[in-house]
Amino acid sequence: MAAPKRANGEGSIYPHRNGFAAYVWVTKPDGRRTRKYVYGPDRPTVHEKWIALHAKAKEGPVATKVPTLGAYLAYWISEVVAPNLAPATAVNYDMFVRLYIAPGLGGMRLDKITVRDVRTWHNRLRQACQCCVQGKDAARPVNRRRCCAAGRCCRRAVSERTARDAWTVLRNALNNAIVEELLTRNPAGLVKVAKPRTRKPTAWTAEEAKTFLEAAREASDPFYAAYVLILVCGLRRGEVLGLRWVDVDQDQGQLSIAYQLQRVGGQLLHRETKTEASDSVLPLPDICLTALETRREPQQRDRRSADMWHDTGLVFTTRHGTPIEPRNFHREFKTRCVRAGVRPIAVHTTRRTCATLLVALDVHPRVAMQILRHSQISVTMNEYSQVPSEQTRKALKRLGKRLGG
């Protein structure tokens, strides 16, 4: 009896080792044509794979060699993230990949990762003790081990925010794999991850801010001018530490903001500001001009007394002219809070304090947006929504009186 006639093109299916194999001519992402092979234990299985590969080849380029997720993430960080994003962002992404993504999914082939794999990884990440997973306690000397390595698990799971951020980094990486035509869909993007509620810090009142500044001025604190700038003008920590004297125009009474100082990956960088919207020229109130003027003389004294002076041109420097470490500034700010007898807050919360005071003064949101140099008005409105206006207070008082009889 004659063998059944094979379908057109089915001649590319042939016996191979303990099963069958087949190939399809495909176009690779680099534009070259080549054969891609599929394998299976029997002809019907290989035929299904062969049909699916044909369909995929008609849709567009097909990758013939797919890396593991770990290998692809290493490439993505070095070739896509680092050259195009801010250094601090690149270091942050690398941390999430190294500590949270690669250990759970890095060994899987990029195109084999499913929605279920991502969901399982994310759930485990939220529950697992990172001290155990990363061997933090085991890395300590034997006489200093106090929890996981000593048989007492500390259950230090990541926060919901950290788990979501790790998922966001994975989703961004797989989106880039789609752009590079290594994937046709993003399994991480199909996983629903709840957005955690963040507890927003409470800003200082006008009285607290005034008490803090008065205490710093009376103590001749070398950072008094910096405290004035972050509270009155809403400068970020990196912006005030990266401020240069050439950016201060005391004749015109204005300040140019273009640089920031950051500690990134073990290096102290004096680089451009966070976004283009952060670059701005702000008019300086008298309190700022006076504070900056009082900063010049102490710095000149340090210059004259220093054995070796590093001329960085920065407004805020050490006794030798070198830049101020951001963490040291943060510690000095906390110490000054305690000495002033005011409620301690983070340095960045001073921007929220500035926004709070602008709300109290009924400053228009668009004007506040320019002062705080937000890139989007929604960010400014979010700040405004946290502070009840005088109209809101009056309305609630009237409602309370009405309901009270």
Residues 255 and 215 in one domain: yes
Beta strands in 273-379 (DSSP E): 280-283
Residue after which a domain boundary falls, among 8, 28, 59: 59
Distance CA 108, CA 105 (A): 6
Task: Kindly report, residue by residue over 162-212, the tens digit of the pLDDT.
Answer: 999 999 999 999 999 999 878 888 999 999 998 887 777 788 888 899 999
Look at residue 1 in the predicted model and tell me its pLDDT: 43
Residues 260 and 163 in one domain: no
Task: Kindly report, residue by residue over 119-131, the tens digit of the pLDDT.
Answer: 999 999 999 999 9
Residues 167 and 237 in one domain: no
CB atoms within 10 A of CB 243: 26
Distance CA 108, CA 93 (A): 19
Residue after which a domain boundary falls, among 179, 214, 231: 179
Residue after which a domain boundary falls, among 32, 59, 86: 59
Residues 246 and 368 in one domain: yes
Low-confidence ranges of the chain (pLDDT < 70): 1-11, 274-279, 381-397, 399-405
Distance CA 265, CA 92 (A): 9
Helices and strands counted in the chain (H then E): 17, 8
Q: Which amino acid is at 16?
A: H
pTM score, two decimals?
A: 0.75
Evaluate whether residue 130 is within a structural domain. yes
Which domain CATH number covers 323?
Answer: 1.10.443.10
176 φ, ψ (degrees, to nearest 5): -70, -35
256 φ, ψ (degrees, to nearest 5): -100, 125
Residues 248 and 160 in one domain: no
Residues 238 and 167 in one domain: no
Residues 240 and 347 in one domain: yes
Look at residue 119 in the predicted model and tell me its pLDDT: 96
In angstroms, what CA-CA distances link 355 with 284, 352, 362, 393? 17, 5, 11, 18
CB atoms within 10 A of CB 27: 14
Residues 307 and 170 in one domain: no
Evaluate whether residue 333 is within a structural domain. yes
Evaluate whether residue 270 is within a structural domain. yes
Residues 98 and 219 in one domain: no
Residue 100 lies in domain: 69-179
* 98 Cβ neighbours under 8 A, 6+ residues apart: none
Evaluate whether residue 260 is within a structural domain. yes
Evaluate whether residue 367 is within a structural domain. yes
Beta bridge partners of 280: 257
Look at residue 332 in the predicted model and tell me its pLDDT: 95
Look at residue 36 in the predicted model and tell me its pLDDT: 84
In angstroms, what CA-CA distances link 219 with 77, 329, 336, 339? 47, 16, 10, 10
Residues 77 and 43 in one domain: no
Distance CA 327, CA 28 (A): 49
Show the tokens assigned to 208. Answer: 């607290």
Residues 73 and 106 in one domain: yes
Evaluate whether residue 291 is within a structural domain. yes
Residues 165 and 214 in one domain: no
Evaluate whether residue 11 is within a structural domain. no
Look at residue 3 in the predicted model and tell me its pLDDT: 44
Evaluate whether residue 7 is within a structural domain. no
Helix residue spans in 140-285 (DSSP H): 160-179, 206-218, 224-232, 237-241
Domain count, the chain: 3
Distance CA 204, CA 214 (A): 14
Cβ–Cβ under 8 Å, residues 243 and 315: yes
Which domain CATH number covers 143?
Answer: 1.10.150
